[in-house]
Structure 1
Amino acid sequence: MEKKNLLIVEYPDNSSLIYEVPKEVEAVEEITSEVVEYWNIKLRNKDGTYSWIRINSPSRGDEILIRTFSRTLEYKVTRDKIKKDEFTRSWVK
């Protein structure tokens, strides 16, 4: 069986989503927001490359936890720490 690289996003309402990523993740580099409903996460992989995933932003509450299944990576973030992606927001208007 092929090993899958998974990230788990835990939301404040006790729900969670699992995302498959292309490589083994070492760190969360940054999180940006294009529009209200989605956040873009830049991941640094263990081999030095980068990957991006788009997740749903929390519908209520403020803090989410992004982690690997084995918990070798745990990253907590609150809504006020999310950078706004001004370039994308300008053409959405």
Structure 2
Amino acid sequence: MEKKKLLIVEYPDNSSVVYEVPKEVEAVEEVTSEVVEYWNLKLRNKDGTYSWIRINSPSRGDEVLIRTFDRTLEYKTTRDKVKKDEVTRGWVK
């Protein structure tokens, strides 16, 4: 059985969500937002390819920790560091 590749997102209210990703992740390259409720993560995989996943943005607080179970990857971000995706925001309007 193949081992699942998972990312954990820890939110400021002490909740967390586990997301399955297609490949083993090496780094979070970019966090963007097209709508208020979701953030898009651009992930660099260990094989050099890229993947995108959409996560829930925090409902309260500011800082979010994105990590692997073994903590080989830990990435902290806050709302003010999230880039606004103007192209897709235009479609939403």
- Pair 1:49 & 2:56 matched: no
- Pair 1:26 & 2:54 matched: no
CA RMSD of superposed structures (Å): 0.5
Query: Structure 1: how far apart are the matches of 2:34 and 2:2?
Result: 33
Q: Within 5 Å, give how 1:59-74 maps onto structure 2.
A: 59-74=59-74
Counting matched residue pairs gives 93
> Which residue identity is paired with 1:19?
Y
> Which residue identity is paired with 2:8?
I
State the secondary structure of the residue aligned to 1:80: helix
Identity %: 88
Tell me which residue corresponds to 1:58: 58
Query: How far is 1:91 from its partner?
Result: 1.5
Query: How far is 1:2 from its partner?
Result: 1.9
Query: How far is 1:61 from its partner?
Result: 0.1
Q: Which has the higher strand share?
A: 1
Query: How far is 1:59 from its partner?
Result: 0.1
Query: Structure 2: how far apart are the matches of 1:6 and 1:38?
Result: 18
Q: Within 5 Å, give how 1:2-21 maps onto structure 2.
A: 2-21=2-21
Give unpaired runs (5+ residues) of structure 2.
none
Q: Which runs of 4+ in 1 moved over 2 A?
A: none
Give unpaired runs (5+ residues) of structure 1.
none
Compute the TM-score of the two structures, normalised by the length of structure 1: 0.98
